[in-house]
Each structure stands twice: as structure tokens, then as C-alpha cells.
Amino acid sequence: MISETAATPDVTGRGRDYAAEQRRWEERALRRALERGQRRDTFETGSGIEVDPLYGPAQLTGHDPLTDEGLPGEPPFTRGIQATMYRGRLWSIRQYAGYGTAGDANARFRFLLANGQKGLSIAFDLPTQMGLDSDDPRAAGEVGQVGVAIDSVADMEELFTAIPLDQVSTSMTINAPAPVLVAMYIVAAERQGVPADAVMGTAQNDVLKEYVARGTYIYPPRPSLRLAADLIAHCAREAPKFNAISLSGFHIREAGSTAPQEMAFAIANACEYVAAVTGRGIAVDNFASKLSWIFNTHTDFFEEIAKYRALRRLWARVMSERFGATDPRSLMLRTHTQTGGSTLTAQQPENNIVRAAIEALAAVLGGVQSLALSCYDEALSIPTEKAQRIAVRTQQIIGEEIGVTNTVDPLGGSYYVEWLTDELERRATTLLAQVDERGGAVACIESGWMQEQIQEEAYRAELAVVSGKKVVVGVNRHTESEEAQPPVIFRPDERAASEQLARLRAHRARRDGAAASAALDRLRTCADGEAELMPAILDAVRADATLGEICGALRQVFGEYRPPTTI
């Protein structure tokens, strides 16, 4: 320890050893400050990573700026996937929307486009996400409630009335039935006069994360993986502007995972898809550049910034070292993000405007390509138009008013951000190795191991809130309310469900029933063999078979998934 009577060093710092000076500071100034006490004994990120009082060069031992950070637009893309990032073009504003019937959702989409949004992001109702028609008994009470109901290609056509599908890019949050919904999208575009190779958009199509996070699965994991890979392969050949899968960490995080778990489990799932597609004889560099991602941005500001930087670096290394990708575009992690739905509170909901703005700023400083804000009233209802407008305006303020887009990776070089980027990558890499040791993502899902890891973390996080260790303003601290009026709650009325059922009956009545039945028979035959399924699914859609009928035909061959019991 350096004597406290030692002379005060030269304040310029020139010619001195930083590590030695930091040790001196710790032994003198920091020790005296700690004796006076801190607000709490330890400080940690939202994922439980302990945070030191100060970071400097000593914490970056072994970190090489050129190897680990690189330069913007070049591998490993830590500092961003474009050389100029937002100086060239801002991220896409892509609010998540959809409810009721296709006509209802079309009106909301046109409202958002009129208010400055450039792309669309579709929320489907639960029956659609589960591959059920609206008149299925299991759909009762859910038709059009948390998203738009889509039963047939006719609904898809109405959804995009006056929205040209070769000019507007559309993201679809759909997983188990993704091949069917994308087929409907392609056929709807054909009926607009737009060929498949001109269609732009993205399908989530990451069904593996459904088994660990959300539960909107249909078939067992291996046939689900087959369907996802078939869609990726088909689009690589026939619809090159369409991103056939949006690999998702979003719902893994919403289910309660830490940031390193979100990173590792999403990448482990992605490795299964890449292996499945290359197993069909498609070279990795022929499709990897069309892989896109969606992640969740939570409230721990610096952890979220570091997460996106670490994700890009980790993915570039995985694609290069594990799959032999050589095209720089194959190494890019291009991601959409949505601010955390699970971070919203029903109490004092206006506070959610601030939460979403801070999360959105973290996402921008982390270098995302597309962004949606969870609206302030979303803990209570489907977002109102007012809430959606505030979400769009928040992004426009970040992009155009506050100066954070003037330079690339403005927090790059921060000792803390670089240390946290390295630490998140290290923890995610360790988890990824554990998945590999257990046989890969599908094996970990089938055994229930991945689900258990997330459940344990979700329980830890909930205990932290209940105990008060984690503060949630308006929930366990600062709970006094100043709200004079209850918030406006918006939900589709019963009219939407009755209209949708009438549309479905009319659709079945006017189609050629024999042609639809024959197409479904051919689909079952293909599913029972090893042929790629997208051509048969497209034929069934063109024959006006419904979503429930197509998914039902596949259920007859593949069966339905029953999750393992985990304790």
C-alpha cells in the first residue's frame, strides 16, 4: 500500500503508469470513501454481473482494440455493421401492430405509415400463431384479441390493401406456422402483380425458442426444424429479398433470462438452423447474409449497449470458425429490437414512456438496424393510437434531436463498456459451450435443460423485486399515485370475431373444395417423405386451403408436441 502521506502526483498524468495510479487511488481515495459507506454493499447489472466502482486500462488486460473491436463496417462488427451507421441512414422505425380483422389491422398499418413509419411489423392473434382457424373451438375468445386474425390468403390480401408489397418491408412475428403465413404473403403479392423475387420482409420463423420461452409451438422440435429450414432454403432460391428467419433472443429474455442466456441460447438455436440448411446442400455464404435477428432491450442501460456489441462479435466468430463462412455479409448480425414488454408496469403506466425511451436509446447506442418501442399502455391493453404515436415520436426525437447519431459507436473505447462487452461475450461463450456439450439446442430443449436455466433465472429476478433488492418505480418503491383518471384501455370488440367467422365461412363456400382437398392430400404425402415442403404449402394456399387446414394436415403426419416435465 502506498503511504497516505505520499505527495500528490502530477495532475496531468503524463508519464505515469495508469495501473499503479489506479491502485494508489483504490488504497487512498476509494478506501476512505468506502469507510463512509455506499447506498448498497454491491452493485450489479440486471443480469447479476457485479460492477466495480471504476474501470480503466487494467480491467482490459488482453483486450486488443483491432481484434476485439475492429472498425465499423468490418469484421467482427463490434462497432457496427455499416461504416457510417446512422450518419448514412437511421434505423427502421417498425412498431409492432395488428388486431381484430384484416381490415382493422390494415387501417392501423396505414395510420402508422402516415405518421412516418417506413416498415410494418405484424402482430398475429393466438389462434393464428397456433395454426388454428378462427372457428376452431380452441380459438374461442381469442380471435383478433392480441393481434390480427389470418385464416386464408384472402385475409392476407385484405391486410395489405393499398400497401404495395414490393415497396413496404413487412416483419411477421409468426413461428410454428411461419411457412404457411409466408406462403400466403407471397401469393397475396402475386395477386398484387408482385413476383416472389421482389417481395421484401422478414418472418420470425424461430420455432425453437417457442419451446423454451413462449409456448406457441405445434409440432415436435425436429419436424419444426425441418419446416424452418425448408422455408430458409426456399427463400434463398425464390425470394432473395425476403429474410426467411428472424432468429430470436427477444422472447427468451421476456421469459426471464439474463442477457448472457439470451445471447447464448439464441445463437445455439441459430446454429441448428444453419446446420439444417447447409445439410440440404446450400452453401453457408448463399443464405447466411439473409439471416436476421430480434432481441429484447431492457432497462440496464450499459448492459444492453454492451450486449449488442458483444452479440455482433460472437456471431461473426461463430459463423467464421464453426461454419466456415467467408463472405463478410455472412458474419453480420443484423438485428431488430423491441423494448422490453416485461419491463412495463400496469402501475403508473405513464412511467413506461420513460422506460421505453431509455431502452430505445440503449438500443441505438448499441447499433441496431430496426426498432420498436413497447407502448406505455401495453401492460394493460392493445396499444392505442396515441400510444403508438408517442412510440414513433420517441424514436424520431432520438434520431433527429439529441445528437447521438452524429458519430459511429460513440461509447466505443469506454473502459466500462469495453469491459462489459468482453464479459458478456465470455459468459455467453461459456453457456454456448455447455449447450454444445449436451448435444446442441434441440437436445437441450428435448431434455428441458434450457427451459430450467431460464426458469431459475426468472425466479431469482422475481425474488429480487419482491424483496426490494431490485427497485421498480411505482411497484415496490415510489408507489404513491398521481393519476386522476384511469388509463384508456383498448380492446377489439366482439364484432371483430363475428366478422372474421363470417369471412371464413364465405371463403370456404366460394372456393373449389375439391382442389383444396387434393392440395392438402399432396401436402400430407410430402410431409410423410423427405421432400421440401414449401412447394406443396404454396400449392395449398393457391387452392385456398385455410391456415388451420394446412397446419392440420401437417399435424396428422408430425403429431403435436408435449413438453417435458421439469422441476
pLDDT the model gives residue 1: 33
Give the mean model confidence (pLDDT) for residues 99-119: 91
pLDDT the model gives residue 302: 98
Backbone angles phi, psi at 159, to 5 degrees: -60, -30
**Which residue type occupies 138?**
R
pLDDT the model gives residue 199: 95
pLDDT the model gives residue 480: 80
Q: Tell me if 498 sits within 8 A of 528, measured CB to CB.
A: no
Q: Model-level pTM?
A: 0.90
Question: Residue 237 burial by CB count (10 A; 0-12/13-18/19+): exposed, middle or buried?
Answer: middle
Minimal CA–CA distance to 178: which of 210, 135, 154, 146? 210
Give the mean model confidence (pLDDT) for residues 269-294: 94
| Superfamily of domain covering 65-79+165-467 | Methylmalonyl-CoA mutase (3.20.20.240)
Q: Tell me if 131 sits within 8 A of 218, measured CB to CB.
A: yes
- Three-state DSSP at 371 gives strand
**Which residue type occupies 78?**
T
What share of the chain in percent tops pLDDT 90?
Answer: 85
Backbone angles phi, psi at 120, to 5 degrees: -120, 150
Give, rounded to a whole angstrom, the gap between the first and last alpha carbons of the chain: 50
Give the mean model confidence (pLDDT) for residues 331-337: 96
Burial 477-486 (b: 16+ CB within 10 A, else e): eeeeeeeeee
- DSSP assignment string, 493-556: -HHHHHHHHHHHHHHHHHS-HHHHHHHHHHHHHHHHTTS-SHHHHHHHHHTT--HHHHHHHHHH
| Residue spans per domain, the chain | 65-79+165-467, 494-558
- Calculate the alpha carbon distances from 148 to 155, 158, 566 in Å: 10, 11, 33
pLDDT tens, residue by residue, 18-31: 888 988 999 999 99
pLDDT tens, residue by residue, 390-441: 999 999 999 999 999 999 999 999 999 999 999 999 999 999 999 999 999 9
Query: What average pLDDT does the chain have?
Result: 92
Q: Tell me if 116 sits within 8 A of 396, measured CB to CB.
A: yes
Q: Which residue has the cell 435443460?
A: 449
Minimal CA–CA distance to 341: which of 307, 294, 397, 306? 294
C-alpha triplet 450, 418, 20: angle, nearest 5°: 125
pLDDT tens, residue by residue, 453-508: 999 999 999 999 999 999 999 999 998 866 666 666 777 777 889 999 999 999 99
Handedness of CA 173, 177, 179, 181 (dihedral sign): negative
Asked if residue 240 has pLDDT above 50, the reply is yes
pLDDT the model gives residue 4: 41
Give the mean model confidence (pLDDT) for residues 172-176: 93
Cα distance between residue 318 and residue 275, in whole Å: 12
Minimal CA–CA distance to 483: which of 326, 377, 362? 377
What share of the chain in percent tops pLDDT 70?
Answer: 95
Cα distance between residue 106 and residue 117, in whole Å: 14
Query: How big is the chain, counted in residues?
Result: 567
Cα distance between residue 461 and residue 469, in whole Å: 9
Asked if residue 9 has pLDDT above 60, the reply is no
pLDDT the model gives residue 550: 98
